[in-house]
Amino acid sequence: MTELLAFDLDGTLLETAEDFFLAINTLRKRYGVTEPEISFNEVKSRVSEGAFSMAGYAMNLTLDKETEVENYRQELMKIYKECCLVNTKPFPGIEELLNELNSKNVYWGIVTNKPFYFAEDIVKSNLAEFNPKFLICPDDTGKRKPHPDGLNLACKTANSNPKNSFYIGDHSIDIIAGKAAGMQTVAVAYGYVPLNENLNDWDADYIVNKPSEILDLI
């Protein structure tokens, strides 16, 4: 019996890459950076890796330039806060999935590496009507995935047995975190899978190609 479905946010429930792409282009324009041209697919593949990775890519810096990249990361996040609701929306099929979960009284919520400062408004704007039971961010545990603390808290919140619970995400760190929490893991092929990575290498318990296939698991 399924007791809990916990979802990653970016690249799993919501298409957020367009707003990150907008923020990155704004940052580059601010500093007159035009070459090389940035790739939307490259930005999309870095969403789950976090703002530090995206800032380095945006400004043509290797990530060992920690101080420089961090300064740009902070500026990028200020820009992103202003545009994070412009294009973000649920993936096709997510609204139908969440309505079906609610009709079946399935307990579900969100565990993300996105700071609460951003996640709160984004979830309110795009998912509040579907009544997620929790939104767990690194602010709540002091740890980011692949550390399992966020998922451990989700199972505690739902009073669920991890063996009867699923974590659903689009990056290998989601699968690592889910397994460390003792949960069943689901990799979503429709999400922001990093370029040149193969989902089969992640050793997820399940792979789904569209949101409706998640229903078959429960």
Q: Catalytic amino acids?
A: 8, 10
- DSSP-derived letter for residue 88 is -
- Give the strand pairing for 89-90 and 14-15: antiparallel
Q: Cα separations (Å) of 48 from 1, 10, 44, 104, 161? A: 30, 7, 8, 30, 27
The residue type found at 56 is G
Do residues 58 and 24 make contact, with C-beta atoms less than 8 angstroms apart? yes
Peptide bond before residue 36 is cis, with ω within 30 degrees of 0:
yes
Q: Closest Cα partner for 5 from 151, 117, 204? A: 151
> How far is 213 from 196, CA to CA, in rounded Å?
24
